[in-house]
Every structure is written in structure tokens, then in C-alpha cells.
A and B are shown apart, each in its own frame.
Chain A
Amino acid sequence: MAEVALRNVVKRYDDVVAVSNVNLDIPNQEFVVLVGPSGCGKSTTLRMIAGLEEITGGEISIGGEVVNDLPPKDRDIAMVFQNYALYPHMTVAENMSFGLKLRKFPKEEIKARVDNAARILDISELLERRPKQLSGGQRQRVAMGRAIVRNPKVFLFDEPLSNLDAKLRVQMRTEIKRVHQQVKTTTVYVTHDQVEAMTLADRVVVMNGGKIEQIGSPNDLYHHPRTRFVAGFIGSPAMNFIPAKLEANGSGLRLRLSDRLSFVVPEARTTRYRGYVGKDVIFGLRPEHITETRGANGGAGQEFSTALDVVEPMGMETMVFFRIGGTEVCGRVEPTAAKGAGETMQLRANLDHMHLIDPATNAVL
């Protein structure tokens, strides 16, 4: 177990900068998730930590030792791949023990470690099978087992659940979290799925365009995004973004969304936003903060009525879609309170959770 540190790490392919000046400190035993859209540089960053990609600039250290020029085998890391990468001609036990055999561990220790990992992952009955005789979930467990037996300083996961179906993905997500709680090895996990990132991580690193947008705990990123990208990427359904103008309203502030609709900015926020009066801003509000007016969600908030475009029942909640000044907006309401498409519905926006974004810099104000 060890800490991982990235200092000004750069990866360039000819003229294309894949990863630009990434700085990241991962303390011992932490579970860090790198999340972002395709091509954001998260996998490249992971592969640089693994030693599978050379770094163009900067410094990577594992356990205090700079590993820039060390081959993967000398970095004491273990990696779980998206397509499992199990050796097809070996049994599960052979797959798991391959790394230990190459490192010339005594037979008894290899057996003990394989048995222990198999017990942790509940694959003891599968040890004599070959990968093609296993289901996707079982293969993923074996891939994790191969990582666990090595007892490495760092676990690296490269989108390990992407090949699984939705139900199995949720199961394996819990499994990975459970395993980490047991073995407590420092873990770097790459995914494009923000739900995976939120549920698994001690800290989430949101990447975009080869740069780190924000690092923080899942709750921190969700409630206090620093950029429009993070605000939009974290959370499902995504945060609503509506072009608006900030107006003075006596001693307070008013946010004008359209000719017919404006909201009073909560008092607690007026000082923060006062400098932006008269300027165009982007108003961000999550769907769960646009609710029906009755019931438990009643309370703080400002009411407005709107004609619904689309209604999507989800069972425990219903998504309602409507337009404000040409922008489509999503709200989350109680199934029993939802009206049908085309009908007018009274909704309540809770501006205590609002965000304002500067359209010029895309920074959350």
C-alpha cells in the first residue's frame, strides 16, 4: 500500500495533447475515481501510472519513489482491464497465480494467496475452470482476484464494469467497494459513468479535455461544482442550464429567465452575486430542486406554472420536461402529482440550491 503522486504530468501524441499538466495526490488507502467523457485523458493518465504509456513530461511517484522510467512490473501495481484480459489457455487458479509464479514465490504461499483471494471474491469453486467457461461477472471477479493475490501497492481499474449488463454492473460495483474496504489498497479507478464514480469514490477527479476540472468528494462535487462542465457531468439527470439575467430587486436580487418568469435570489446568495447585476449569466438548478408544490417537497421555493412537453414516469418519481425561454428544463416530481403532457402544472423551484455560471469563463460564481 502506498500513496501516488502526479506532478505536472503531460502526455503528448505528436501535436495532440492528451493529458495536460495533471497534478494529483492520492493518499495511502484512498479510492480515487477518474471520471470524464471519452477522450478526456483519464485512461491515458491511468496507463501512465501503470507504466503502459510513457509520460512526455512531469513526474509520477508511487510510495515516494519516482517511477517515470520503471517498467510496469517494477512499479508493484496491479491492473484490472475493461475486457478482463484473462489468459484464455490458463485456469482461473493459473491466471491468478501467473504473476506470483513469475516473481518466484514459493508454491505454498501462492496457493495460500490464491485461496484467500478466491474466498474474498467468492470464486473458490471456479478455480479449475477456464475463462471461456465463466460468465462476464465471474471473469471480472477473476480479474480482480489476479490483482488481489499480488498484494500490490496500488490497484488500477480501467473501466472494469463497462462490459457488464446494467444489473451485474450494480452488483459488481458493490463488490469492488466491499473488496476495497477489506484490503484497503490504494486504488485508482477510471470510468465514464458518473454514478460509478459517485458511489465508489472517496474522492472523484473530474477530467475534461486532458485537464483536471475539479477534485473533491462525491458530495462536494455534486453540491459545489466549480465549473459548468462538472455541474453538468455529475448528477443524473443532468443539471438544467438556463440563460438568465441578474437584476437588482430593491436590496435583493432577481434572476430573470424570460419575459414572464423571474425568481428572487435567496438572501444568503445576494452578496456573492451582487457584482453580476445587469450581466448575462447561466442559471443552474438540478431537476430534484424543481418539484411539485404539494407534499413533503413543499416549503422553501418559488412557484411557477408551465405547460409540460414530455412526462417520463420512472416508478418512484416522474420526470417532467418543459421549456423556459426556448431551453428545455427537467423537473422531478412525485408520480401522483404529475400532470400529463400538454397540461399545465404548478411547480416549485428551490433556489437555495441554485448555481450561477459566468458564460464567458464557464466558472460557477
Chain B
Amino acid sequence: MSAVTTVATAPARPATARASLKRGRRWALFASYFFLILFAIFFLTPPYYMIITSFKTDAEMAHMATNPWFIFNGVTLDQYKLLLFGTDFLIFFKNTIIVTVCVVCTTMVVSVLAAFSLSRMRFWGSTVLATGIFLTYLIPDTLLFIPMFQIVKSIGLLNSYWGMVLVYPTLTVPFCTWIMIGYFQSIPKELDEAALIDGAGYLQMLTKIFIPVALPGIIAAMIFAFTVSWAAFVYPMAFLYSADQQVLTVGTVTSLIKADVYKWGMLMAGALLAAAPPLVIYAFLMDYYIAGLTAGATKG
């Protein structure tokens, strides 16, 4: 009723104001489309080039006279066949999956427990600890890999992908904990109090209330841990040197670039195949990722 009244009594907006608003909106839309298309072209050009190149024959690539942006001598899957069955690519892929799954699991267990205790079980020094955890994330892996090398070597995990399972969480745990702290803090305090009164202990509160309620945040943290682990380059570059232990990022590059010989077709095919899992995961879970990151950003 009140809405109807408001509409009825609202003063009519002058026609000129309406026209200027319409014009303003048109310009905003025009500018939005212009920049969106510009950015889309900018960011989709490299993948396009990769796809095109991966379907070319080595002969066409070597023939400099043809336009590199198009395929002239027919599409071929030879690069993919050779990559999958003629190189160690599948070993790299398997190693990467093992490392990533282990890192994501370790990260989630550690950061969910850490975030829960830091955000809910008030104890002496918890605020300083929470800030400290985030500060560790600010130290780049390029600074850490030399001391890390000593540690990994001392426990005998040099040139083993299990070493990666140990060191990647130093990159993923701080940020994931930070995201989860923000998410857990956004859950009303009364919810844990209700659970406490209902008879839940801290572990039950975490598993039966916090984890289901904070699922978008947990998924966001998982995606982050997955991305970092899947795409890490510095640590495997420094710690792994035999092909059977290598992961995708470094393995593809080292096995397909021999001195000044670049196997472009396979490199592009390898890059595309390596990018596929993150792409699929992002496509399906993007909404959760955004929701989780936003909660972390505003409440953290």
C-alpha cells in the first residue's frame, strides 16, 4: 500500500532530466562495451595463439612466410599425440595432481582449524597471531626458496615431489587461513552460542555448523590453494631435477626446450592441457570463489 502511495505522490521528473539520464546511461553502456571488448581481445589473444599453434604442423611453424595467426596447411593433432605419448607429460600431470590434491587437503585442514581457533576461541595473543599469519604471506617464494632448499635437503626430500607437498602449504596456508578467518567472523556469534547451549563441543560446532555455513569461503580457499599449487614454478624449479619427479609447470618447459630448440607446437599443447583443470574448476565454482573472497575482504 505504502509503495503505491509513494509512487502516486512522487513529483513527476522533468522530461529533460529523463532524457539526460537516458543519454548518460547510453554513454556508460557504450564505454563499458568498448573497454570490455578491448580487454577481452587483449586477454584472449594469447590463448588463441596457443590453440592455433598447437594444431599446426612443425613444418608450417617453421615456414616463416605464412601468417602465424591462421592455419594454412590443415589442422593436426600430432602435437598432442606426441606430447602425450612421446614425452613424460603424463608423468608430470600425475605428479602435479598428487601434489595438488595433497596440498589442498593439508591446507584446508590446517587453515580451517587455525581460522576457527583464531576467530572464535579467544585466547591470549590470537589477534597478533592472525596478523602474523597474514604477514608471512607477504614474503615471496623467491626469497624463501634458498632457506627452504636447506630444509627440504636436510629432511631428504630434495628431488621428490613429496617435498613440494611440504613446502607449498607455506604459500597456501597463510592466505587461506586469512580468507577463512574473515568468513568465520562473518558468522553471527549467536550461532555458536546456540550450538553450545544445544550441547555441541567445539569440534562439533566446527564440523556441524561452521564448515557447512562457511562452505563458500572454504571453496574459495580451496580454489586458491589449488591454483597456487598447480601453477607453482619457483620451488619445483629449485628442488626437482629428474623427470619422474617433475611437475607440469617446470617439466613441460624443461623437457620441450632443449638449448635453443623450442618445440612450440608441443609447448602450446602442453600449456593448454595444463590450463584445462583450473579453467574447468573456475568455470564451475566462480560464484563461490567471488563470494568467499569478498567476505574475507570486508570482514578480515
Contacts and interface: CB of A to CB of B under 8 A. Distances in A.
Interface string B26-69: 00000000000000000000000000000000000000000000
B207 to A, nearest CB: 12
Contact of A83 (B188, B198, B213): B188
A50 interface: yes
B129 interface: no
B200 interface: yes
Interface residues of B, number: 17
A71 B213 contact: no
Given A50-B197, A72-B196, A79-B197, A88 B213 contact: yes
Interface in A75-114: 77-79, 81-83, 85-89, 98-99, 102-103
Contacts of B191: 85, 87
- Chain A contact residues: helix, strand, loop or mixed: loop
A103 B197 contact: no
B200 A102 contact: yes
A73 B213 contact: no
A52 B199 CA distance: 13
A103 B196 CA distance: 12
B204 interface: yes
Interface string B128-153: 00000000000000000000000000
B213 A103 contact: no
Given A89-B212, A102-B204, A71 B190 contact: no
A103 B194 contact: no
Given A52-B193, A85-B188, A102 B213 contact: no
A88 B196 CA distance: 16
B190 A85 contact: yes
A24 to B, nearest CB: 20
B243 interface: no
B198 A99 contact: yes
Given A81-B190, A87-B191, A99 B199 contact: yes
Given A83-B188, A85-B188, A89-B212, A98 B196 contact: no
B200 A81 contact: no
A140 to B, nearest CB: 13
B213 A87 contact: yes
A102 B190 contact: no
Nearest to A73: B199
B209 interface: yes
Contact of A73 (B190, B200, B209): B200
Contacts of B200: 73, 102
Interface in B161-200: 188, 190-191, 193-200
B197 A78 contact: yes
A102 B194 contact: no
Contacts of A51: 196-197
Contact of B194 (A71, A81, A89): A81
B194 A73 contact: no
Nearest to A52: B193
Nearest to A82: B190
B189 to A, nearest CB: 9
B188 A73 contact: no
Residue of A86, A88, A103 most packed against chain B (CB within 10 A)? A88
A104 B284 CA distance: 38
Contacts of A103: 199
Given A83-B188, A85-B190, A77 B199 contact: no
A-B interface, 6 closest residue pairs, ranked by CB to CB distance from nearest: A99-B198, A85-B190, A85-B194, A73-B199, A102-B199, A89-B212
Given A52-B196, A83-B188, 19 more contacts: A50-B193, A50-B197, A51-B196, A51-B197, A72-B193, A73-B198, A73-B199, A77-B197, A85-B188, A85-B191, A85-B194, A89-B212, A89-B215, A99-B197, A99-B198, A99-B199, A102-B198, A102-B200, A102-B204
Interface of A: 50-52, 71-73, 77-79, 81-83, 85-89, 98-99, 102-103, 146, 150
